[in-house]
Structure formats: C-alpha cells, structure tokens
Amino acid sequence: MGIPHTQSFGITLPNSIGHYPLGDQALVLSFGDTISEAVNARVRQVATHIENWSQPGIIEYVPAYTTITIYYDPLLTSYNDLLSALQPIVRDIAENQEYKRVKKEIPVYYNGEDLAYVAQYNGLSEDEVVRIHSEGEYLVHMLGFVPGFPYLGGMDKRIATPRKDVPRLRIEAGAVGIAGQQTGVYPMTTPGGWQIIGHTPLQLFDLSKESPSLLEMGDCVRFVPITYDEFIQLKTKSNGH
C-alpha cells in the first residue's frame, strides 16, 4: 500500500496540496503524482517562500519532482504548527502561473563511451543522437543524488535508454548522461549508472562561489555541441589556468 498524499491532522492545506509525515521530524508537501512544468512551477513558488521563512525549528527543506520535504526540530515546533504556518504561503499560489525561466547553455563534446550504445539501442546513428539531444530544451526539475546534479526533463523519447545494469564505479565530473527519458550532468566524480554520451568542460558545482551550483531548479538548459579543441580551451578556462 502506498503512502497517502494527505493524512488528517486537523488542518487541510488549500490548492489541493497534500501532506504527510516522514518520521517524527519531517513534513512532506505533495503537489501531485505527475512530473510536469506546472507542478514544477508550484513547487518552486512554495520553495521560494520557505527559503526566507522565519518559522522557528526549521532545519532544512528539500524540493523534488512533486514534493517538498521540510525537516524540523520537534522540540521547537510541531507538525501542526508547520501546517498552520504554511497555510498563508500556499493559499495564494497560482495553479497556472508561468515563470520566466533562466536560460543556460551547456557546451558538450559528444565523445561519451556509451554514445554508440545509445545509438544502437534506438536504431539511430551517433550523429542523430547528438542532433536530437542538442536540439532539445530541458527543464531542471530538481537537484539531487550529489550536490548540483540536475535532473532534466524534456528529452526526446527517440533517444531514451535504460540505465546500466551494473553501474560504473567512477564517472568523471562533467559527464553528460541519459537514464530512461531523462538526461543529466555529473557535477563531480562519482559512481553512477547513466549512459554517458559526452562531457562538458564547465564546472557545475564550485564551493568557492557564493552560489555553488551552476544550475538551479527551474532553469531552462540547452546543450551546445563543441569540438575537442573547444573542449580543451573551455576546460582550461574553467579551471582558471
């Protein structure tokens, strides 16, 4: 039996937003079951308010595809206190509000070790995979897995490819991958099971910067094919050499 989207705690949130506890120190807001731009916009609206929230006892919040999880100190606040404080925040969110999305370009040298497999799996040439992948416009639905890793929606199903059965123990930072009908970029060296089709010279996560993550939830991303020489030049520049 799945987790219900709304449980009865004496308080109902407006705008059809569900809620349920995650243990005894977290509250999950649920905005539905469907991954979409509309749901993403509603998650972002509420997350923006929570970012500057003065509610006592809040430890952190984690926005995802269709939820926001709020972690709190039960000695300083309670589940119902949070629900009461959330009511004015969620009351006025617009069902169909459109955001002006920040557009960002990610240069990619399409030399990935799995590019040939993605092409073969989908009955395409490697050039067709590159063309389809770089023609798309992608929405950053959420960041997760490791700091700064963007989960990008909007990829053409013609190049959708399952994750690897056995993940690699090491994938280099900057690797651009495909998993199912999602695409994403590894911001740091880590194990992973996505099909790697290319690499970007950009540094997606840098703790020395005030805003460490290059990409943020809600950004609009386009991939731009580059040559090997351009990759080396941009890599050198990105590293500050």
Beta bridge partners of 176: 185, 198
Contact, 205 vs 188, CB < 8 A? Answer: yes
State the Cα–Cα distance between residues 185 and 223, nearest whole angstrom: 11
pLDDT of the residue at 31: 85
**What does the domain layout of the chain look like in residue ranges?**
18-91, 103-238
pLDDT of the residue at 175: 97
pLDDT of the residue at 97: 56
pLDDT of the residue at 12: 67
pLDDT of the residue at 210: 83
Block mean pLDDT (10 aa), the chain, length 241: 42 75 90 80 84 87 88 92 86 62 92 97 97 94 88 94 95 96 94 97 89 89 96 83 51
pLDDT of the residue at 33: 82
pLDDT of the residue at 1: 33
Please, what CATH class does the domain formed by 103-238 belong to? mainly beta
Please, what CATH class does the domain formed by 18-91 belong to? alpha beta
pLDDT of the residue at 66: 86
Model's pTM, two decimal places?
0.76
